Amino acid sequence: MTRRKVIDLLNTALELEHSARIQYLSHAETLFGLDSEPIIVRLKEIAGDELKHEEMFREQIGALGGVPSMKLAPTLQADGIKKVLEVNLKGETDAIDFYRKILEEIRNSKDELKYEDLRLEHQVRHVIMDEMEHAQELKLLLG
């Protein structure tokens, strides 16, 4: 795997996280009613986690000599608690699948990265764990 390939994958991850943060915050603002208050709070907390992921991916891209993307991945609108939870659960599971592909690419790497491989692998694993936690919470909220 070349350094360029890693940077491209990380830029896609950055775009996913940036869009997820915007989507969570926007969805939180569309919900209303007493039943939605704890969900609104949690959506905003998850958005904060997504910001941390963005920052990590941005830093890794810079450390590898790349330029962090300012693009956004597609976002989805949703109305009502159930649809908001379903849309964001799908986003989390898609992100987990993508980040697992990044791990696979890193593991198959035999060339340019060396130490950065281990550090990057650790950080991507941490993001996957966060996303799995988010997905589990969203599933529980869906009932």
> What confidence score (pLDDT) does residue 27 get?
98
**Comparing C-alpha atoms, which of 95, 124, 80 is closest to residue 20?**
95
Stretch 92-116: mean pLDDT, rounded?
83
pLDDT band at 13 (very low <50, low <70, confident <90, very high): very high
Q: Please report, as a single letter, which amino acid is at residue 80.
A: G
The pTM of this model reads 0.92
> What is the 8-class DSSP label of residue 111?
S
Total domains in the chain come to: 1
* Residue 90 burial (CB count, 10 A): 13
| Domain residue limits at 57 | 3-142
Q: What integer is the mean pLDDT of 43-70?
A: 97
Between 108 and 103, whose confidence is greater? 103
Residue 97: its pLDDT value, please?
A: 98
As a whole-number percent, the residues of the chain with pLDDT over 70 amount to 93
Q: Is pLDDT above 90 for 38?
A: yes
The enclosing domain of 123 has a CATH number of 1.20.1260.10
